[in-house]
A and B are shown apart, each in its own frame.
Chain A
């Protein structure tokens, strides 16, 4: 079981209110991603749940029991750190077995669980090595192994992939998703990368300046962002925001159009191509549209538009409308 409920959780360091007050419910078995720009309080929130920091006020319940003042060890949670935080003086085997040893488990049971975790994570051949002799991806697996042997109520991941190179990151991302599908344990995952959030999460929590901007399934956030911040943060490349006369036509203060929802060829907007990046599968164009400003356009790979060309654009798909306060209409 891994149901976690935060009620009016607040955290201040002196006069700095990192988290002014958060209510959040995480259901058993959910994969929840905290996402937001750096300094938004997502890591602090995770550490509050872990018990590595005290809450200034509010309560944290785990499986219906108040855990606000429990030390980390008593919360039944496991954490994977950004730096992996492996014990450099222990072999992989000892690293993975450490939480079991701390729990006073019998040696035979420890061995059994370590072997099982090693098999799942493809670490069986490395059990007697030390962390210093492993690659980044292998270290990451050891850190995960150390977390899963305890069979915790929930896993906490603090930007676990940020120290890996791009190719490895995609692979590990899928492994963690598969792990979640097979274990069906609650996972809370912190990242600043909205791609990780979109691909892995059952539920995304978008944080900004210590406040929750929106909570929802990935596509829900993509299709119905509650405000400008979420609209701009979710989706890549970033949504285009247009103000002024064009927005007024739609009875809004600001309208938002995603780059992938603009088609090249015919349409009401006309402009000059500035930068054009041809990736093969897609082409990203920066177009200076008359009377509107620069828009990012995601066109098909074979589009024939280059620097200096004058092209016509048509907004398609959904046009997001926002009022003067940045809230969706």
Chain B
């Protein structure tokens, strides 16, 4: 807003905003701090903020006790793989719905979204049996397919809202200029929608990275990603806070950093076309 703001008012709102933001962020901060404390220091009473015994021991132990690189690699393959596969299927569909809309397009979009409303637990057993039959249990490919299908409606919807912003005349112009359908999508639509495609990719990598139901149900060891890694650490309640925090930090840090760096891009994507 371009209105005159008194310095006093600015100071008050700044302090208030920072206080709120720090409260929201505090659990993550506290977890990170705890991960660098000794176990004794982590549960000390009263809680230690600055006077703790700092150590890297927890990270070393978590690293030694479990095969972190494998979990990490599985997470990368599954989240990136399912997102890329999803985009491959979704880009043509979103193109069609955005530029050749029919009377049923909106219903179709809503139906796609509604497939996500089915609670995962409700179809857990059949899907498990199905995956078992197909030999996909504990395979990265199986999870890539499962998460791709799970996020496909979101990917299509996001791309659709981005494509809608591209004027149809430009695509018509490319058709007049002799571009085939393929040429139109590759040379004109995709480059123009690149920021939107990037946002879509980011959000879906994050959703897939943080998915913690199918990734746990459908894996045992070989293909288990970081969500399963952390689940194996959270078992003993109220114990080993420092190690639990270190493992937690290791599980979320890659995506937290990616998310922070791409924050602007991501927030734009998050709005699902809600903000013009």
The answer to whether A and B touch in the complex, with CB atoms under 8 Å apart, is: yes
Interface residues of A (CB under 8 A from B): 50, 52, 71-73, 77-79, 81-83, 85-89, 98-99, 102-103, 146, 150
19 A–B contacts from the bound complex (CB under 8 Å) = A52-B172, A72-B172, A73-B179, A78-B177, A79-B176, A81-B169, A83-B169, A85-B169, A86-B170, A87-B192, A88-B170, A89-B192, A89-B194, A98-B177, A98-B179, A102-B177, A102-B179, A146-B177, A150-B177
Q: Is the CB of A73 within 8 A of B167?
A: no
Q: A71, A85, A89, A103: which contacts B173 (Cβ < 8 A)?
A: A85
Please state if A50 and B178 are interface contacts (CB–CB under 8 Å): no
Number of A-B contacts (CB under 8 A): 63
Q: Which of B174, B180, B191 has the most chain A CB within a 10 Å cutoff?
A: B174
Question: A81 to chain B: which residues have CB within 8 Å?
Answer: 169, 172-173
CB-based contact A85/B175 at 8 Å: no
- A-chain residues with CB within 8 Å of residue B167 when the two chains form the complex: 83, 85
Q: In the complex, what residue of chain B is closest to A103 when comparing beta carbons?
A: B178
Judge whether B191 and A89 touch: CB under 8 Å: yes
Inter-chain contact B173/A79, CB cutoff 8 Å: yes
Q: Return the 5 tightest CB-CB contacts between A and B, nearest first.
A: A85-B173, A99-B177, A102-B178, A73-B178, A85-B169
Taking the nearest CB of chain A, how far is it from the CB of B38, in angstroms? 55
Q: How far is the CA of A73 from the CA of B169 in the complex (A)?
A: 15
Taken together as a complex, chains A and B put the C-alpha atoms of A268 and B22 apart, in Å, by: 89
**Contact of A87 with B174 at beta-carbon distance under 8 Å, contacts A73-B179, A73-B180, A102-B183 already known:** yes
What does the 1/0 interface line of B174-201 toward A look like (CB < 8 Å)? 1111111001000110011010000000
Q: Is the interface of B mostly helix, strand, loop or mixed?
A: helix
Q: Is the CB of A87 within 8 A of B170?
A: yes
List residues of B whose CB falls within 8 A of some A CB: 167, 169-170, 172-180, 183, 187-188, 191-192, 194
Q: How far is the CB of A101 from chain B (nearest CB, A)?
A: 8
Contact between A73 and B175, CB atoms less than 8 A apart: yes
Bound complex: CA of A89 vs CA of B191, how far in Å?
7
Residue of A nearest to B175 (CB): A72
Q: Contact: B170 with A85, CB < 8 Å?
A: yes
A49 CB to nearest chain B CB (Å)? 11
B169 contact set on A, CB distance < 8 A: 81-83, 85
Chain A, Cβ-Cβ closest to B193: A89
